[in-house]
């Protein structure tokens, strides 16, 4: 690569000021509408096994490619192109699916009695509840990865508008939202061990740090190899993104380690509040501690100053991760309040303040943990067992015997309602920050307060969108709260009927509670989500090879579209081919 072309390439992706938040949201809306169209096709038309991959790619990948290239300046047109056939398909009758009969529903009083019976045989250690896949979350993560994979190559072509490329210092763009969304998504997934067993927060730090360090070592190694390869091949780079040696993989690898060190604090402080405290503290350091001036003006005369963007933005990305972690405890748990209640019990127990809680009503018990259990005989708990009343080990719906098979269902309607309140809160807070010009604007480079809140607002909104689409197109008694019109008690599906009809949560490949084969997350998106890291690495390598083999910044729009279509469909084909196995476990 000649020095002249390298300089031209670096100038091509430098000095960007971005677009507007409304424009970015309109471009991203194509993602939701493509899922709506795919769901309409899936529920109204007979499936075609022969052309399944091409159908998935055309409905799920192509709209995202078009949204950031040919339709980037007119996203409303693309949204209408996707919305009109979706509306027409909704006029057709649904394909038949399994439905619940009235006799298959039972009042929660019966389940409460069963729960009370099971509580008499509870051992002295807590249960790790299962966390079945959430199709809306799978869709969100896979769509985000597809968009990222497309953008990392598309940004090198003129067909990709410059206002979508990463901003130099301040501003909003689609690629700015991508890196923050990766960290937010990482936080959501990191909530799985906390939802399974909230007492994980109180476990010894050293074993947890060792485990997370082992898991993150692969990502850190990739970051090191990327730095070596970029320097060795003189590949064009933009040092104001993260620094001379730092890159996004290093940030991704370090954040989970820092998060684990904060577990003792999370016992007493809500995770969302902790994330806000970290974000506000970071902004104070930028504004009053002159860190912002250091990032913008300090010369790169040492290892620290050479990587000042990566080091200083790490705190802001940690705040994003914590807000994602908080969202994960909300959407992955059986009910929105589940983790909060367990966290409060942990705090009470740790303070030595545990009190015997008054017996809850039937509906309260069911609201906290919607479960059905098949208990195997265990020894009854003795009066001398070391269990403090009100502690995390005390009898509760979450502490069912370890040899009990527990089937947890999610009340996604309640989750959607609470997630909506968080999304509104983040957008209002972002509006207030922009109104009073706190932080001087959105800055991905420094991951300031406005950037952190924008990432939380954007991702909460789009996860909510996927969750609502899930509830609309695949309704089920297992995904919402149902109350008797006469007794006002909650109604639960009968466990025997669930087993007989295949409606059990987490059974097979079906969507949680859908009762039909193949109604989980979209097959292509499930495949992408299964091997996300490997596909991202493959996309990075492919992007490098394409850039080394052609002068992308001089390519015409149609040449660029051919290359980008082959590239995005090729990555999708690799994911589809490997959909039944995980390529790399670490």
Q: How many CB atoms lie within 10 A of CB 309?
A: 22
Q: Which residues contact 493 (CB under 8 A, 6 or more apart)?
A: 100, 104, 105, 106, 477, 478, 503
Residue 257 has pLDDT above 60, yes or no: yes
251-262: string of b/e by CB count within 10 Å (b at 16+)?
A: bbbbbbebbbeb
Tell me which of 261-275, 386-400, 427-441 is least confident: 386-400
Read off φ and ψ for residue 269, nearest 5 degrees.
-115, 130
Residue 160 has pLDDT above 80, yes or no: yes
Q: Name the DSSP letter for residue 102.
A: G
Q: How far is CA 480 from CA 416, 418, 467, in A?
A: 10, 13, 12
H helices, E strands: number in the chain: 24, 5
Q: How far is CA 528 from CA 146, 271, 441, 492, 546, in A?
A: 8, 29, 34, 34, 22
Could you identify the residue written with the tokens 């639960």? Answer: 492
pLDDT band for 169, please (50, 70, 90 cuts). Answer: confident
Q: What is the percent of the chain where pLDDT is above 70?
A: 75
The rounded distance, in Å, linking the Cα atoms of 331 and 578 is 28
Q: How far is CA 319 from CA 31, 140, 284, 315, 404, in A?
A: 26, 20, 14, 6, 37
Q: Name the DSSP letter for residue 390.
A: T
Tell me which of 54-68, 325-339, 394-408, 433-447 is least confident: 394-408
Could you identify the residue written with the tokens 């040919």? Answer: 70
Q: Please report the pLDDT score of residue 234 as a whole number.
A: 67
Q: Please report the pLDDT score of residue 397 as a whole number.
A: 38
Please, what is the average pLDDT of the chain? Answer: 79
Classified as helix, coil or strand, 172 is strand
- For 519-572, the pLDDT digits (tens) are 467 889 999 998 888 898 899 889 989 988 888 889 999 999 999 999 999 999
Q: Please report the pLDDT score of residue 468 as a whole number.
A: 93
- For 31-51, the pLDDT digits (tens) are 999 999 999 998 888 887 778
Q: Are 200 and 193 in contact (CB under 8 A)?
A: yes
Residue 395 has pLDDT above 60, yes or no: no
The rounded distance, in Å, linking the Cα atoms of 339 and 107 is 25
Q: Please report the pLDDT score of residue 286 as a whole number.
A: 92
Determine which helix (DSSP H) or strand (DSSP E) holds 482, and give its type and residue range.
strand 482-483
Q: How many CB atoms lie within 10 A of CB 563?
A: 19
Q: Please report the pLDDT score of residue 489 as a whole number.
A: 55
pLDDT band for 372, please (50, 70, 90 cuts). Answer: very low
Residue 108 has pLDDT above 50, yes or no: no
Residue 280 has pLDDT above 90, yes or no: yes
Q: Please report the pLDDT score of residue 299 as a whole number.
A: 87
The rounded distance, in Å, linking the Cα atoms of 175 and 444 is 10
Please say whether the dihedral angle defined by the alpha carbons of residues 282, 284, 290 and 295, taken in this order, is positive or negative. Answer: positive
Q: Which residues contact 484 (CB under 8 A, 6 or more apart)?
A: 107, 490, 491
In this structure, the chain runs to a length of 586
pLDDT band for 140, please (50, 70, 90 cuts). Answer: very high
The rounded distance, in Å, linking the Cα atoms of 528 and 150 is 13
Residue 111 has pLDDT above 70, yes or no: no
Q: Please report the pLDDT score of residue 100 as a whole number.
A: 46
Could you identify the residue written with the tokens 């087993």? Answer: 499
Determine which helix (DSSP H) or strand (DSSP E) holds 173, and give its type and residue range.
none
Q: Please report the pLDDT score of residue 358 as a whole number.
A: 44
Q: How far apart are the first and last CA of the chain?
A: 36
Q: Name the DSSP letter for residue 262.
A: T
Q: Please report the pLDDT score of residue 73 as a whole number.
A: 93
Greater pLDDT, 130 or 454: 454
The rounded distance, in Å, linking the Cα atoms of 244 and 348 is 47
pLDDT band for 410, please (50, 70, 90 cuts). Answer: confident
- Mean pLDDT value of segment 359-380: 43
Q: How many CB atoms lie within 10 A of CB 288?
A: 9
Q: Name the DSSP letter for residue 492.
A: E
Classified as helix, coil or strand, 583 is coil
Could you identify the residue written with the tokens 């091509």? Answer: 12
- For 460-489, the pLDDT digits (tens) are 999 999 999 998 888 765 566 555 555 555
- For 76-99, the pLDDT digits (tens) are 999 999 999 999 999 999 876 544
pLDDT band for 127, please (50, 70, 90 cuts). Answer: low
The rounded distance, in Å, linking the Cα atoms of 26 and 19 is 12
Determine which helix (DSSP H) or strand (DSSP E) holds 435, and give its type and residue range.
helix 412-435
pTM of the shown model:
0.82
Q: Are 564 and 150 in contact (CB under 8 A)?
A: yes
Could you identify the residue written with the tokens 């730090």? Answer: 205
């Amino acid at each position: 690569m000649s020095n002249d072309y390298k300089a031209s390439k670096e100038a091509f992706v430098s000095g960007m000021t971005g677009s507007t938040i409304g424009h970015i949201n309109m471009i991203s809306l194509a993602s939701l509408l493509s899922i709506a169209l795919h769901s309409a096709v899936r529920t109204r038309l007979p499936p075609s096994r022969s052309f399944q991959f091409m159908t998935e790619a055309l409905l799920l990948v192509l709209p995202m490619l078009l949204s950031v290239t040919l339709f980037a300046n007119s996203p409303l047109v693309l949204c209408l192109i996707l919305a009109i056939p979706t509306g027409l398909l909704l006029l057709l009758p649904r394909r038949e699916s399994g439905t619940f009969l009235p006799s298959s529903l039972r009042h929660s009083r019966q389940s409460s009695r069963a729960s009370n019976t099971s509580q008499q045989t509870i051992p002295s250690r807590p249960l790790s509840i299962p966390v079945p896949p959430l199709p809306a979350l799978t869709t969100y993560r896979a769509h985000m990865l597809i968009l990222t994979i497309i953008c990392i190559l598309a940004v090198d072509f003129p067909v990709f508008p410059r206002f979508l490329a990463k901003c130099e210092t301040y501003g909003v763009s689609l690629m700015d939202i991508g890196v923050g969304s990766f960290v937010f998504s990482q936080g959501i997934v990191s909530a799985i061990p906390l939802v399974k067993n909230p007492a994980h927060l109180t476990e010894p730090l050293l074993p947890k740090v060792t485990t997370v360090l082992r898991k993150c070592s692969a990502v850190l190694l990739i970051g090191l190899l990327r730095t070596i390869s970029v320097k060795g091949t003189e590949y064009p780079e933009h040092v104001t993104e993260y620094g001379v040696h730092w890159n996004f993989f290093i940030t991704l690898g370090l954040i989970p380690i820092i998060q684990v060190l904060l577990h003792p604090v999370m016992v007493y402080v809500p995770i969302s509040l902790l994330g806000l405290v970290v974000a506000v503290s970071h902004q104070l350091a930028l504004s009053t501690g002159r860190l912002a001036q250091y990032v913008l003006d300090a010369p790169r005369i040492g290892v620290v100053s050479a990587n000042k963007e990566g080091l200083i933005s790490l705190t802001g990305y940690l705040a994003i991760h914590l807000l994602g972690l908080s969202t994960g405890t909300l959407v992955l748990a059986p009910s929105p309040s589940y983790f909060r209640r367990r966290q409060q019990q942990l705090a009470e127990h740790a303070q030595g303040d545990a009190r015997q809680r008054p017996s809850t009503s039937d509906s309260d018990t069911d609201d906290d943990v919607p479960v059905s259990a098949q208990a195997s005989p265990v020894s009854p708990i003795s009066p001398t067992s070391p269990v403090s009343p009100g502690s995390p080990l005390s009898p509760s719906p979450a502490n069912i015997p370890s040899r009990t098979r527990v089937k947890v269902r999610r009340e996604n309607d309640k989750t959607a309602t609470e997630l909506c309140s968080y999304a509104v809160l983040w957008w209002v807070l972002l509006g207030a920050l922009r109104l009073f010009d706190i932080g001087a604007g959105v800055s991905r480079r420094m991951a300031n307060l406005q950037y952190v809140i924008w990432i939380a607002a954007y991702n909460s909104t789009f996860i909510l969108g996927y969750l609502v689409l899930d509830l609309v197109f695949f309704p089920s008694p297992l995904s919402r709260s149902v109350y008797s019109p006469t007794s006002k008690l909650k109604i639960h599906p009968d466990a025997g009927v669930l087993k007989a009809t295949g409606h059990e949560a987490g059974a097979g490949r079906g969507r949680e509670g859908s009762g039909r084969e193949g109604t989980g997350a979209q097959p292509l998106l499930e495949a992408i989500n299964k091997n996300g890291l490997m596909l991202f690495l493959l996309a990075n390598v492919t992007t490098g090879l394409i850039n080394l083999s052609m002068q992308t910044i001089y390519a015409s729009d149609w040449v660029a579209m051919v290359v980008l279509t082959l590239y995005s469909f090729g990555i999708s084909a690799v994911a589809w081919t490997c959909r039944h196995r995980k390529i790399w476990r670490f």
